[in-house]
Amino acid sequence: MKTIVDEGIKNKQRYEKRPNVDKAFIEKAIKQVLAKMDQNLETFTYKFPRPASIDGVYPAIDNIDWTASFWTGMLWLAYEVTEDEKYRKVAEIQVESFKQRLDNRIEVDHHDLGFLYTLSCVSAYKLTGSEVAKETALKAADLLITRYYDKAGIIQAWGDLNDPAQRGRMIIDCNMNLPLLYWASEVTGDKKYKEIAYSHVKQAAKYIVREDSSTYHTFYMDTETGAPLRGATHQGYADNSCWARGQAWGIYGFPLSYKYTKDWELIELAKKVTNYFLNRLPNDEICYWDLIFTEGTKDQERDSSSAAIAVCGIMEMLKDMPLADEYRMFYENSALSMLKSLALNYTVEIDSNENGILKHGVYAKPQGNGIDESCIWGDYYYFEALVRALKDWNLYW
Ligand code: GLY
């Protein structure tokens, strides 16, 4: 049985003081997000931002990528905080686009159905009671569970299920696709979705998290025997390094599964994964794109999007953490420190022609895609983190 070591917080002093992030600071940052969104509203009504910007500008593309729902999710957040119908109107046009995408099976043969249909349709159902959105999200959940391998207990990430080269690969990102399944069990009363999600997250906890609390990006399982095979990276620096966003998906994803299963082991694990992440942050609190790079590294980029995801994950974890928990204060202060640094150092100027919100993200460096650019999920999670800091937010996840 593998023991996962907790590094603890190595530099406690760093997070002993609460950063000065008050309501006015958060409101100002949200105003900036909304101003940028207003500039983009017309362009991204029937079209969607490309996953990463090119020279700071997201081209407008069809609803075909795994990332399309992040903009729709931002529209729902904007509607929630402003109650302005203009955001709801565009979001509802996009919900229809997500229905068409699923009905016509356009680029839906992968596990990112969770990202896609949680932020577009589950959110719509939760905020407006839309039955169309609910039915569409349930159909997406039905499609997602066709990727489940019983023996291995995992959901396969990408690729044709009949392609042996892809078979049995789970990835840490999938933690964020599981809330669609937990939600489907809640609204239908059918336990199978939750059972699949819980099985997957336990396998991810067992095999994707390494003994030192870092994570593999991807891990292959033998789907015939259920045996673990090997870890490998796809978007990280090396198979044995720790891709920053993968770690961030872990920081957020394990607490999300806790929310639905109440399995405290998932929070204990999330704490270790979080400590590993915090211990590798450079002085300005924003991680490099792979955690093998730390303070002082030259010629490597930051990934602001990982920081935004981590902030949301820590904020979610804090909800359930006892006041006496030894890490509580460090987590509160680190989340605010990261959020503050993003707001002050990583946001796009309102009057620039760049159309993202956060600068300095990395999509997929080994593939040469989106390096030092805006990433649409970074924008989404930054906005979600601000909304979490502003009010008691009812999750779409
Ligand atoms: N889920 C893919 C990524 O984080 O880039």
CA of 173 relative to ligand 1 center, distance in Å: 6
**Which pLDDT value is given to residue 2?**
86
Q: Is residue 395 part of a domain?
A: no
Tally of domains in the chain: 1
Would the pLDDT of 131 be above 80? yes
Give 35-77 pLDDT, tens digit per residue.
999 999 999 999 999 999 999 999 999 999 999 999 999 999 9
Please work out whether the CB of residue 218 comes within 6 Å of at least one atom of ligand 1: no
Please identify which residue in the block is written with the tokens 């090396």: 238
CATH number at residue 104: 1.50.10.10
Q: What is the mean pLDDT of residues 122-132?
A: 98
Would the pLDDT of 25 be above 90? yes
Give 197-209 pLDDT, tens digit per residue.
999 999 999 999 9
Would the pLDDT of 342 be above 90? yes
Task: Name the pTM for this structure.
Answer: 0.98
CB 361 within 8 A of CB 367: no
**Which pLDDT value is given to residue 341?**
98
Q: Whose CA is nearest to atom 2 of ligand 1?
A: 173
CA of 139 relative to ligand 1 center, distance in Å: 23
**Which pLDDT value is given to residue 186?**
98
Q: Is residue 397 part of a domain?
A: no
Q: What is the mean pLDDT of residues 288-293?
A: 98
Element (H, E) at 1: none
Q: What average pLDDT is seen over the chain?
A: 98
Q: Is residue 199 part of a domain?
A: yes
Q: Is residue 266 part of a domain?
A: yes
Contacts of 50 (CB under 8 A, 6+ apart): 58, 59, 60, 61, 65, 376
**Which pLDDT value is given to residue 105?**
98
For residue 224, give the amino acid letter.
E
Q: Is residue 2 part of a domain?
A: no
**Which pLDDT value is given to residue 59?**
98
Give 346-382 pLDDT, tens digit per residue.
999 999 999 999 999 999 999 999 999 999 999 999 9
Residue ranges making up the domain that contains 338: 12-390
CB 375 within 8 A of CB 305: yes
Give 7-24 pLDDT, tens digit per residue.
999 999 999 999 999 999
Please work out whether the CB of residue 303 comes within 6 Å of at least one atom of ligand 1: no
Q: Ligand 1, from 175, 178, 377, 380: best to mutate by most atoms within 8 Å of Cβ?
A: 377
Band (pLDDT 50/70/90 cuts) for residue 332 is very high
Q: Is residue 239 part of a domain?
A: yes
CA of 323 relative to ligand 1 center, distance in Å: 33
Q: Is residue 396 part of a domain?
A: no
Q: Is residue 261 part of a domain?
A: yes
Would the pLDDT of 130 be above 80? yes
**How far apart, in whole angstroms, are the C-alpha atoms of residue 99 and residue 101?**
5
**Which pLDDT value is given to residue 166?**
87
Contacts of 369 (CB under 8 A, 6+ apart): 51, 52, 363
Sign for the CA dihedral angle at 39, 41, 46, 51 comes to positive
CB 63 within 8 A of CB 101: yes
CB 71 within 8 A of CB 376: yes
